[in-house]
Amino acid sequence: MKQLISILLLFIASSAIAQTEPTGLKVGDKAPMFIGTDQNGQQFSLQEALKKGNVVLMFYRGQWCPYCNKQMSQMNDSLSSITDKGARVIAVSPEVQDNVKKTIEKTKASFPVISDVKMQIMKDYKVNFSVPQATQDRYKNFGIDFSIANGENGANLPVPATYVIGTDGTIKYVFFNPDYRKRASVKEIAAYL
């Protein structure tokens, strides 16, 4: 009987943990609409942008992340392969506005980058997760303090994810991989535009 209770408790605990893992949205889902402020203080409305063409929505972790910076730079370098198809790119980060500006300096990104201050966009797209304390401690050894980088968002990050959203608001392509080293290629993204 004790063994059965232990197994049941373990199952309930593991189910609760599994429910908090980010899942991302899927191809065919309706994209949640949002309005945010970009690095230039301009308002970006996904609903308005979709009236003009498809949107590539990228989630990145922050200016301290070399994989994110590489992806942002590659996207900027190949931006014409997206814009020539009538689409536009938008990136979303949990970072405070000052750190978003550092990302722009590092990557030369010429597309809007939104600071998701309340993490609402990340939550709506089901990409947010809380960084475990042991990982936070390791990052601090490298000079990365999430309470400074992300302000009130603290140690919450998005899974690196990229969505292609069609003009009807339906998600046409998803790249969602918890392995922060893996990213969608511009060529792959452009194939869904």
Distance of CA 25 to the CA centre of its chain: 12
- The per-residue pLDDT for range 104-151, each reduced to its tens digit, is 999 999 999 999 988 999 999 999 999 999 999 999 999 999 999 999
Q: pLDDT grade, residue 185 (50/70/90)?
A: very high
In order of 105, 142, 184, the CA distances from 74 in angstroms are 14, 25, 10
pLDDT at 21: 84
Q: Kindly give the pairing relationship between strand 55-59 and strand 161-165.
A: antiparallel
- Nearest-angstrom CA–CA distance, 110 and 89: 9
For the segment 44-63, what is each residue's pLDDT rounded down to a tens digit? 999 999 999 999 999 999 99
Q: What is the pLDDT of residue 1?
A: 45
Cβ neighbours around 116 below 10 Å, total? 24
CA distance 118 to 138: 25
Q: Spell out the domain ranges in the chain.
A: 25-190
If DSSP codes are grouped into helix, strand and coil, which group holds residue 170? strand
25-190 has CATH 3.40.30.10 classification: yes
pTM of the model: 0.87
Q: What is the pLDDT of residues 19-45, one digit of tens each?
A: 368 999 999 999 999 999 999 999 999
- Residues whose CB is less than 8 angstroms from the CB of residue 34 and which lie 6 or more positions away in sequence, other chains included: 45, 46, 120, 121, 124
Distances from the Cα of 186 to the Cαs of 67, 78, 129, 138, in angstroms?
14, 7, 25, 31
